[in-house]
Chains A and B, each alone.
Chain A
Amino acid sequence: AQSVTQLDSQVPVFEEAPVELRCNYSSSVSVYLFWYVQYPNQGLQLLLKYLSGSTLVESINGFEAEFNKSQTSFHLRKPSVHISDTAEYFCAVSDTGSSYKLIFGSGTRLLVRP
């Protein structure tokens, strides 16, 4: 069975500063990894995903995440955040076999201050 750990429940950061949201997973099989973002009163939106190939994946709005198999991590980073990035971010994992259930972490609230 897979599990996801997001150790930081909230990350406050000033606008234009860099940020890293941490995600570690546990699995005995190969996995796919995802980051979702949830803005207030909205559903979750897929931000980026790792399926295979390059371990560094990017989103269209400047976020990137790197799959590190040895560290079982998939941390999310952005070099310069905006106020509009304030949201809840969820890391998720699914195995590459027959199960397509997504297991979510507990979420990290990114709070960008002016």
Chain B
Amino acid sequence: DAGVIQSPRHEVTEMGQEVTLRCKPISGHNSLFWYRQTMMRGLELLIYFNNNVPIDDSGMPEDRFSAKMPNASFSTLKIQPSEPRDSAVYFCASSLLRSNYGYTFGSGTRLTVV
């Protein structure tokens, strides 16, 4: 298995632009998580899906952030409009619910908003 695949690896965009981050979870995993990592706040859970359904989005910072999971093999995190304070590394992770094997993380997308 290729693991959790995120794209792009790096994204530089101007303030106000729309940004879309993509994630392909491990085949067979039924839970997907989006995390944001910054120096100031560490790892923050933004949203998680179970069987493609959003279960908890309480970590989504504000309405500018949205996430979708149209099928079991793809998820997106969109920021519109982007702001400099959104600059961070965004990680996607997947797991098999009730397996308790922990998460498998992708390599992350480093987002810089200028």
Instruction: Tell me which of A43, A92, A103 contacts B107 (CB under 8 A).
Output: A43
The docked-state distance in angstroms from the alpha carbon of A56 to that of B105 is: 25
Residue B82 CB within 8 A of the other chain: no
Q: A49 to nearest B CB, angstroms?
A: 6
Instruction: Tell me which of B4, B42, B97 contacts A104 (CB under 8 A).
Output: B42
Given contacts A45-B105, A49-B102, contact A100 B97 (CB under 8 A): yes
Within 8 A of A (CB), among B43-92: 43, 45, 48, 56, 91
Q: Are A46 and B102 in contact (CB under 8 A)?
A: yes
Interface of chain B: mostly helix, strand, loop or mixed: strand
Given contacts A43-B106, A100-B95, contact A51 B100 (CB under 8 A): yes
Chain B residues with CB under 8 Å of chain A are 4, 31, 33, 42-43, 45, 48, 56, 91, 93, 95, 97-98, 100-108
Chain A residues with CB under 8 Å of chain B are 32, 34, 36, 42-46, 49, 51, 90, 92, 94, 96, 100-107
**Can you list 18 residue pairs at the A/B interface with Cβ under 8 Å?**
A32-B100, A36-B102, A43-B4, A43-B93, A43-B105, A43-B107, A43-B108, A44-B103, A45-B105, A46-B104, A49-B100, A49-B102, A92-B102, A101-B33, A101-B48, A102-B103, A105-B42, A107-B43
